């Protein structure tokens, strides 16, 4: 199984916290899409197995008109062996209309990821989101009415100005509409963002870590009560509603990234496209590579394995890590040992984070990382 990720690098507005690659100038949409289709042709040999998932991310893919989305899907179909079980489209609430929902359905898009972030107006204004609270609710109701049963929303917690009451209200909306999947992220302050600048200049005071952890605990407990499975630290799903694309990524599947700023992985190397729309277009037109390549050493692959797997509900599989990385198996066992009990649960076949361990994931990960860069 393999996945394809298409990065659509356009947004109506720049959210104050976002550091993903995007442009608020929409003038080059057609040229970027044409370049993505050319890249599809050039990269048709990258994947050796059938494509089971396609993910349109961004940016804001829902900003594209239907004909552009359709042309990308048609190009993929002509160059790859598609056995798609899941085609996801990230979308903003203000882009969702009944007409668009019907068109997305017709294209075979069967999963929507809606960037809600909050159901409170003042939070959305502070984040500089392009939608309002009413559109947050309507987008979910309309998507469900249009037959999109496979639905996920994004929520953000851990920022100053979000009260416990407001957080509970966000989670009550989730329950009211029986949303099958959620991605819930703690607010991070990236240096090259508006929020990063506000923090640096003292205009914004980050929420203390203890309060952010209290919000995270509230989320975990409430969503558990509602019947969600926290199958990855930031992702919660009702039974049989896990995200296939991301789950495959966490299990080490091969994926191809297309578009400016997109990343690809084939098990032994990683490459990433240039994160500049105009340079991407120019290089594609000139027939030049648009990416840089990194060959992954055994240490690189070990570190990535433990970093990703510790975040999942399955944790680190003992047989797997011993078979994949025999030279570092004892190193892993030795360095995770101090966390067993309170922060890590050890079973016959795996090591998994406990609830308390999820609050110090980065600390545990850094402890089991192999930082010695000797040749392997």
Yes or no: say if 316 and 310 are a contact pair by the CB < 8 Å rule. Answer: yes
155, β-bridge pairs? 117, 184
Paired sense of beta strands 229-232 and 235-237, if any: antiparallel
- CA gap 265, 267 in Å, rounded: 6
How many angstroms separate the most distant Cα atoms in the chain? 57
Range of the domain at 225: 2-249
Which of these three, 231, 249, 267, is where a domain ends?
249
Q: What is the pLDDT of residues 280-306, one digit of tens each?
A: 999 999 999 999 999 999 999 999 999
Residues 6+ apart with CB under 8 A from 43: 256, 258, 264
Asked if 58 and 136 sit in the same domain, the reply is: yes
DSSP 152-210: EEEEEE--TT--HHHHHHHHHHHHHTT-SEEEEEE----TTSHHHHHHHTTS--PPPHH
pLDDT over 90 at 178, yes or no: yes
What pTM was computed for the model? 0.96
Asked if 17 and 148 sit in the same domain, the reply is: yes
Asked if 239 and 174 sit in the same domain, the reply is: yes
Report the CATH number that the domain containing residue 28 is assigned in CATH. 3.20.20.70
Paired sense of beta strands 151-157 and 111-117, if any: parallel
Average predicted confidence (pLDDT) for the chain = 96
| Other C-beta atoms lying within 10 Å of the C-beta of residue 201 | 8
Asked if 138 and 51 sit in the same domain, the reply is: yes
- Helix/strand/coil (H/E/C) assignment for every residue in 301-313: HHHHHHHHHCCEC
Asked if 107 and 185 sit in the same domain, the reply is: yes
Q: What is the pLDDT of residues 129-171, one digit of tens each?
A: 999 999 999 999 999 999 999 999 999 999 999 999 999 999 9
pLDDT for res 373: 53
b/e per residue 185-198 (b: at least 16 CB within 10 A): ebbebeeebbbbee
Q: What is the pLDDT of residues 211-268, one digit of tens each?
A: 999 999 999 999 999 999 999 999 999 999 999 999 999 999 999 999 999 999 999 9
Yes or no: say if 257 and 43 are a contact pair by the CB < 8 Å rule. Answer: no
Number of domains in the chain: 2
Residue 115 lies in a domain: yes
Residue 254 lies in a domain: no
pLDDT over 80 at 376, yes or no: no
Confidence band of 5 (pLDDT split at 50, 70, 90): very high
pLDDT for res 142: 98
Alpha helices in the chain (DSSP H): 29-42, 66-79, 98-107, 121-127, 133-145, 164-176, 194-200, 209-226, 244-250, 277-285, 298-309, 318-324, 329-336, 361-368
């Amino acid at each position: 199984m393999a996945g394809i990720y298409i990065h659509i690098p356009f947004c109506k507005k720049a959210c104050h916290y976002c550091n993903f690659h995007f442009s608020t100038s929409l003038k080059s949409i057609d040229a970027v899409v044409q370049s993505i289709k050319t890249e599809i042709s050039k990269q048709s040999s990258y994947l050796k197995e059938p494509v089971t998932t396609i993910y349109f991310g961004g940016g804001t893919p829902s900003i594209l008109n239907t004909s552009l989305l359709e042309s990308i899907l048609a190009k993929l179909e002509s160059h790859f062996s598609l056995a798609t079980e899941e085609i996801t489209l990230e979308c903003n609430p203000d882009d969702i209309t009944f007409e668009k929902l019907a068109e997305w359905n017709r294209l075979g898009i069967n999963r929507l990821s809606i960037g809600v972030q909050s159901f409170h107006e003042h939070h959305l204004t502070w984040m500089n989101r392009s939608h309002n609270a009413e559109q947050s609710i309507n987008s979910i109701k309309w998507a469900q009415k249009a037959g999109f049963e496979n639905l996920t929303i994004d929520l953000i917690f851990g920022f100053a100005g979000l009260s416990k009451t407001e957080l509970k209200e966000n989670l009550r909306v989730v329950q009211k509409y029986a949303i099958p999947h959620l991605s819930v992220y703690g607010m991070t302050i990236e240096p090259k963002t508006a929020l990063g600048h506000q923090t640096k200049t003292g205009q914004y005071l980050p929420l203390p870590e203890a309060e952010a952890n209290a919000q995270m605990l509230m989320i975990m407990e409430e969503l558990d009560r509602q019947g969600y499975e926290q199958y990855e630290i930031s992702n919660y799903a009702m039974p049989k509603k896990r995200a296939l694309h991301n789950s495959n990524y966490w299990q080490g599947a091969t994926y191809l990234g297309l578009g400016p700023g997109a990343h690809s992985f084939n098990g032994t190397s990683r490459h990433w496209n240039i994160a500049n729309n105009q340079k991407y277009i120019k290089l594609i037109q000139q027939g030049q590579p648009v990416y840089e390549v990194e060959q992954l050493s055994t240490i690189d692959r070990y570190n990535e394995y433990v970093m990703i797997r510790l975040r999942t509900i399955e944790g680190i599989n003992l047989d797997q890590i011993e078979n994949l990385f025999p030279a570092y198996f004892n190193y892993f066992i030795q360095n995770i040992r101090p966390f067993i009990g309170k922060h890590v649960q050890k079973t016959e076949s795996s090591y998994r984070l406990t609830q308390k361990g999820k609050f110090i994931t980065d600390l545990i990960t850094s402890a089991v990382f192999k930082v010695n860069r000797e040749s392997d």
